[in-house]
């Protein structure tokens, strides 16, 4: 296993969007900006900074326009945001982002609960996003959610998810990130899902977006690495999950991912000490303990 390790992989940081979108109390815009800047200072070069969704659906992201206005940009960094429709794209263009991400679930019920549409209508709405975004010079990323399991339907047919991913790539997305949205995945399941996808999509066009609800995200990431995936989503300190839903958790923690890869001699471009400090910023702005393991253990012990 893992005998052909890459020299480097690309991390895609989602804490400011996926991590914060479930926070019950409103996080101040300047605090969000401080977190994004700390992540960039730590070496992260792709950051999903916010989402241009309906503020009625996700009140925490209501200040997306202000986040973009306040954010000082650094060269070499791709600033991205989630966009569900043409209105979201207009806001993203006004916010001068480099990239937008469209999202759709592989299971109908989760998709309807998330965006109030069938999968087919969601993909139709992307006609107002993907093409126009590319024409405006932006890159477009896609997400396919609930591939490892749906909170409403249980098991999900990977073929249904694969067809959606192919459609997103065919329409111009440069990459599709495969989501274990509720963090139920286990390694052999991950192998089965990925092998199915890799029959028709090359690994460089796929990313993994693993929530760590049950502590299996790192193990699943390693399966992806072994199968040639080189792009991984992560949230600093494991930020995310709903404070009112016991057991819910955020994405694979950026520090845990970077620490594990560093130990395997795989570069991520991230300075571990500084990303750990960004995790302290995240913890301070949400005002509660965050679950990331390296976040809790610290990085100094690396010197041993
Ligand atoms: P809807 O209610 O069906 O649509 O929502 P609508 O067009 O009737 O819009 C409702 C209201 O929102 C209207 O305002 C619109 O103007 C407004 P009103 O007239 O009532 O005052 N609106 C907007 N406002 C600002 N920006 C916009 C926008 N669009 C409409 N872009 C809609 C449909 C898609 C808008 C809604 O369902 C929505 O915003 N959903 C977003 C849900 C969401 O953000 N979920 C979390 C992100 S997905 C995720 O976390 C998974 C992921 O991490 C991957 C993984 O883990 O697997 C990506
Ligand atoms: Mg997510």
Residue 3 lies in a domain: no
Q: How far apart are CA 235 and CA 242, in angstroms?
A: 14
Residue pLDDT, tens place only, 140-158: 999 999 999 999 999 999 9
- What is the Cα–Cα distance from 66 to 75, expressed in whole angstroms? 20
In a domain, 4, yes or no: no
Q: Say what the pLDDT of residue 21 is.
A: 94
- Between the CA of 183 and the centroid of ligand 1 the distance, in Å, is 23
CB of 114 shorter than 6 A to ligand 1? yes
Residue in 68, 150, 173, 242 annotated catalytic: 242
141 within domain boundaries: yes
Question: Looking at ligand 1, which atom is closest to the CA of residue 84?
Answer: 34
To which H or E segment does residue 285 belong? helix 272-286
Q: Which residues contact 107 (CB under 8 A, 6 or more apart)?
A: 146, 150, 152, 153, 156, 160
- For residue 246, count CB atoms less than 10 angstroms from its CB and return exposed for 0-12, middle for 13-18, buried for 19 or more: exposed
| 2 in a structural domain | no
The verdict on whether 242 is a catalytic residue reads yes
Assessment of whether the complete model's pTM goes beyond 0.75: yes
Residue 131 placed within a domain: yes
Residue 5 domain flag = no
Residues 6+ apart with CB under 8 A from 75: none
**Pocket lining: 103 vs ligand 1, CB cutoff 6 Å:** yes
pLDDT tens per residue across span 174-185: 999 999 999 999
For residue 93, is it within any domain? yes
Nearest residue to 180 (alpha-carbon basis) of 206, 212, 157: 212
Q: Which ligand is nearest to the CA of 101?
A: 1
CA-101 nearest atom, ligand 1: 58
Query: Would you say residue 2 has pLDDT above 90?
Result: no
**What is the residue-averaged pLDDT of the chain?**
95
Mean pLDDT, residues 278-282 taken together: 98
**Domain tally, the chain:** 1
pLDDT at position 168, please?
A: 98
User: What is the C-alpha to C-alpha distance for residues 243 and 193, in angstroms, rounded to an integer?
Assistant: 30
Residues spanned by the domain of 164:
10-302
52, 83 contact by CB (below 8 A):
yes
Biggest CA pair distance of the chain = 54
For residue 168, being part of any structural domain is answered with yes
Nearest one of 270, 260, 171 to 224, comparing CA atoms: 260
Say if strands 78-82 and 206-210 run parallel, antiparallel, or are unpaired.
Answer: unpaired
pLDDT at res. 214: 95
Asked if 30 and 70 touch (Cβ cutoff 8 Å), the reply is yes
**DSSP-assigned letter for residue 19:** I
Instruction: Decide whether any atom of ligand 1 lies within 6 Å of the 145 Cβ.
Output: yes
What CA–CA distance (Å, rounded) separates 46 from 153? 32
- Tokens 């690309």 belong to which residue? 10
**pLDDT score for 244:** 42
The CATH number that applies at residue 198 is: 3.20.20.70
């Amino acid at each position: 296993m893992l005998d052909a390790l890459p020299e480097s992989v690309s991390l895609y940081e989602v804490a400011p969007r996926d991590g914060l979108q479930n926070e019950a109390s409103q996080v101040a815009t300047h605090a969000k900006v401080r977190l994004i800047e700390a992540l960039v200072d730590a070496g992260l070069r792709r950051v999903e900074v916010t989402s241009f969704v309906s503020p009625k659906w996700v009140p925490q992201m209501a200040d997306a326009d202000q986040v973009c206005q306040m954010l000082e940009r650094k060269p070499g960094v791709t600033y991205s945001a989630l966009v569900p429709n043409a209105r979201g794209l207009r806001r993203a263009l006004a916010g001068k982002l480099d990239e937008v991400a469209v999202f759709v679930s592989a299971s109908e019920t989760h998709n309807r609960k998330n965006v109030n549409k069938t999968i087919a209508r969601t993909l139709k709405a992307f006609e107002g996003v993907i093409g126009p975004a590319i024409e405006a010079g932006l890159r477009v990323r896609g997400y396919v959610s609930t591939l490892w399991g749906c909170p409403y339907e249980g098991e999900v047919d990977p073929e249904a998810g694969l067809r959606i991913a192919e459609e997103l790539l065919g329409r111009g997305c440069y990459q599709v990130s495969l989501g274990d949205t509720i963090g139920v995945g286990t390694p052999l399941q991950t192998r089965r899902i990925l092998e199915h996808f890799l029959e028709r999509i090359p690994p460089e066009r796929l990313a993994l977006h693993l929530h760590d609800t049950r502590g299996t995200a790192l193990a699943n990431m390693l399966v992806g690495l072994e199968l040639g995936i080189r792009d991984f989503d992560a949230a600093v300190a494991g930020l995310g999950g709903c404070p009112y839903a016991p057991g819910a958790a955020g994405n694979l923690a950026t520090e845990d991912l970077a620490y594990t890869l560093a130990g395997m001699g795989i570069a991520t471009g991230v300075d571990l000490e500084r990303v750990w400090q960004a995790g302290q910023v995240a913890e301070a702005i949400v005002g509660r303990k965050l679950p990331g393991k390296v976040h809790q253990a610290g990085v100094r012990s690396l010197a041993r």
